[in-house]
């Protein structure tokens, strides 16, 4: 059985990590490379670095932070934000990414998912699904949740997998930054629709929220603000995961 992964997300604007609530009210929370190194030392399994301004500015991700992070940490890196082509995906991989996260440009041009998967492998293509509750389900949002697409999020998640995505990063727009827990109904619905790993994102505030995400079908849980401000610690979350019967990396060290 694969280990249940704990992932930290560093939303980057310029060369700084920022965090807000429901994608609004962004505040500076630190240097992303220093933060990535600290989380690696605490036992984080993967690091996501998203250039949150890239799609809105019509460009690929700025890779200066990614390059420095890749030189500093050794856990897998997922790099994303604004990737529009195979060439930009290659640039991110050459900068040190292990996977690329395909965001708003993939919604605008879904063929991008298949192009990246065919060139670099499905395991490299992580499709981002930002989902907001709408009448009867969830709607796909783009551009930091400001873009209304009219697309059904469950159907879009299934399409991403059909096009070659090897993993989904599923973020609840409604729960993001609230610390009230992941949208478990959303996770369960997407779990029923796809057979690839799902990263749960948006809303974690306690270790119990993380454990609940795995029970709802997630293969990995992404944390941001609750780690950044010290409300949660990587070690404590992993202890709770192990106590719930989940297999975690370095269980013996975590439980010591």
**Whole-number average pLDDT of the chain:** 92
Domains and CATH numbers, the chain: 5-255 (3.20.20.70)
In this structure, are residues 63 and 71 in contact, taking their beta carbons and an 8 Å threshold?
A: no
256, pLDDT greater than 50: no
Q: Which of 205, 201, 208 is nearest to 231 (CA)?
A: 205
Average pLDDT over residues 5-28: 78
Q: How far apart are the first and last CA of the chain?
A: 22
* Residues paired with 137 in a beta bridge: 134
Regarding predicted confidence, which is higher, 13 or 251?
13
pLDDT the model gives residue 250: 72
Confidence of residue 25 (pLDDT cuts 50, 70, 90): low
Angle CA(186)–CA(174)–CA(61) in degrees, nearest 5? Answer: 95
- Please write the tens of the pLDDT for every residue from 30-79: 899 999 999 999 999 999 999 988 887 888 888 999 999 999 999 999 99
Q: 3-state DSSP helix/strand/coil percent for the chain, to nearest 5?
A: 35, 30, 35
- Please write the tens of the pLDDT for every residue from 189-215: 999 999 999 999 999 999 999 999 999
Q: Residue for token digits 């991008």?
A: 112
251, pLDDT greater than 50: no
Q: Residues with catalytic annotation? A: 11, 130
Under 8 Å CB-to-CB from 176, ≥6 apart: which residues? Answer: 21, 22, 23, 145, 201, 202, 203
Overall pTM > 0.85 = yes
């Amino acid at each position: 059985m694969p280990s249940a992964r704990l992932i930290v997300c560093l939303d980057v604007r310029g060369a700084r990590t920022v965090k807000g609530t429901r994608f609004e009210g962004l505040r500076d929370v630190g240097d992303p490379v220093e933060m990535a190194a600290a989380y690696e030392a605490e036992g984080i399994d993967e690091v996501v670095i998203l250039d949150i301004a890239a799609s809105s500015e019509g460009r690929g991700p700025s890779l200066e932070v990614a390059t420095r992070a890749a030189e500093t940490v050794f856990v897998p890196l997922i790099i994303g934000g604004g990737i529009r082509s195979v060439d930009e995906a290659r640039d991110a991989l050459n900068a040190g990414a292990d996977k690329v996260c395909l965001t708003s440009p993939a919604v605008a041009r879904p063929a991008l998912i298949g192009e990246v998967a065919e060139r670099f492998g499905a395991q490299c293509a992580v499709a981002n699904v930002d989902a907001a509750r709408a009448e009867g389900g969830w709607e796909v949002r783009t551009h930091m949740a400001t873009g209304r697409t009219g697309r059904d999020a469950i159907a879009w998640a299934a399409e991403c997998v059909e096009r070659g995505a090897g993993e989904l990063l599923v973020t609840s727009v409604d729960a993001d930054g609230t610390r009230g827990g992941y949208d478990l109904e959303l996770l369960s619905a997407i779990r029923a629709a796809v057979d690839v790993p799902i990263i749960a994102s948006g809303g974690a505030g306690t270790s119990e929220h993380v454990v609940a995400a795995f029970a709802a079908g997630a293969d990995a849980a992404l944390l941001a603000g609750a780690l950044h401000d010290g409300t949660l610690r990587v070690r404590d979350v992993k202890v709770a995961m192990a106590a719930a019967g989940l297999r975690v990396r370095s269980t013996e060290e975590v439980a010591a």
